[in-house]
Structure 1
Amino acid sequence: MARVLVLTADAAEELDSMYPVFRLREAGHEAVVAAPTTRAVKLVVHDFEPGWDAYTEKPGHLLPVDLAFAEVDPEECDALVIPGGRAPEYIRTDPDVARVVGHFFERGLPVGTICHGPQVPAALGLLRGRTTAAYPPLKSDVEQAGATFVDGPDVVDGAMVSCRGWPDLPLWSRAFLRVLEESSGARGLDRIRSAR
């Protein structure tokens, strides 16, 4: 069983946040939700309606939080997920988010980003030379960060798995779980070898 950290905050997209948490738990993994504080975060529902040039936003459910960003010890986690919505826009400036996200990228551990989630590693200079999906209007943002943008539902670049948004979650989840299981298996072998 892997321990997967989910970094989120108020105005994170509801499906982007809850679907991975439930899917990871369904697969037998531990999903640990972290946010600026330990109070439940207020999610939002983004939808696409006729007559609108952009998505609409409505209040969503509350998502319980396990840890504040400052309490996170990334050494205790095996992987990271950054859901979309508006939360990535402002959590990317948090020094604890930078500390935590950098840990996963520096060690080549699984990182999943959904929709606007790539805004966090982009702001930290961690997308340079990588290939990523994102919400399509962010194409120029990820390219400015030095990444190659792919308009796809399950883009895998090493241990990083990304998608465009909640309609992609079934394919993204399948790809992320595959990367997570491969990574967990390799780390398990390393632990056995180091114990000898």
Structure 2
Amino acid sequence: MARALILTGDAAEELDSMYPVFRLREGGHEAVVTAPTTRAVKLVVHDFEPGWDAYTEKPGHVLPVDLAFAEVDPEDYDALIIPGGRAPEYIRTDPDVARIVTHFFDRGLPVGTICHGPQVPAALGLLRGRTTAAFPPLKRDMELAGATFVDEPDVVDGPMVSCRGWPDLPPWSRAFMQVLEKSTTHP
């Protein structure tokens, strides 16, 4: 059984956040949710509606939080997932988020990013030389961070698995679970 850390905050996209939690648990793994504080985070629902140039946002469910960022010892976890939505915009500036995310990248542990999730490692300089998917309007941001942007549903770059957003969650989840299970299988 692996222990995976879900790094999130208010205004994270509901499906990006909850789908991985449920998929990890379904696979027999532990999903631990972390956010700026231990207060349950307020998720949002992003959708694409005719007549809109951008996605729409509506209030979603709340997601219970297990630990505040400051309480996380990354040594206790085998993998990291960063959901999309608006949370990555502001959590990427948190020094504890930098400490946590850098730990996983430095050790080559599985990292899953969904939609706007790559904004966090991009802001920390961790995508330089990597290949990533992200919400397509972030293409230029990913390239400026030194990454190669790929517009695909399940981009695997070593231990990092990324996708464009919640419509990609089934193929992203299959790819992430394969990377996770391979990394936690001991001879």
Query: Distance in 1 between the 2:112 and 2:89 partners?
Result: 16
Q: Provide the residue aligned with 2:26 in structure 1.
A: 26
Shift of 1:51: 0.3
Measured against aligned partners, the alpha-carbon deviations of 1:98-155 in whole angstroms (never above 9, x if no partner) come to 0000000000000000000000000000000000000000000000000000000000
Measured against aligned partners, the alpha-carbon deviations of 1:32-61 in whole angstroms (never above 9, x if no partner) come to 000000010000000000000000000000
Question: Normalising to structure 2: TM-score of the pair?
Answer: 1.00
Query: Distance in 2 between the 1:93 and 1:103 partners?
Result: 16
Q: Provide the residue aligned with 1:131 in structure 2.
A: 131
Amino acid in structure 2 at the alignment position of 1:146: G
Q: Provide the residue aligned with 2:96 in structure 1.
A: 96
Amino acid in structure 1 at the alignment position of 2:98: A
Measured against aligned partners, the alpha-carbon deviations of 1:57-108 in whole angstroms (never above 9, x if no partner) come to 0000000000000000000000000000000000000000000000000000
Measured against aligned partners, the alpha-carbon deviations of 1:6-52 in whole angstroms (never above 9, x if no partner) come to 00000000000000000000000000000000010000000000000
Matched, 1:157 2:157: yes
Uncovered stretches (5+) of structure 2, i.e. residues with no partner = none
Within-5 A mapping of 1:160-171: 160-171=160-171
Within-5 A mapping of 1:31-110: 31-110=31-110
Shift of 1:4: 0.1
Q: CA RMSD in A?
A: 0.4
Question: Normalising to structure 1: TM-score of the pair?
Answer: 0.95
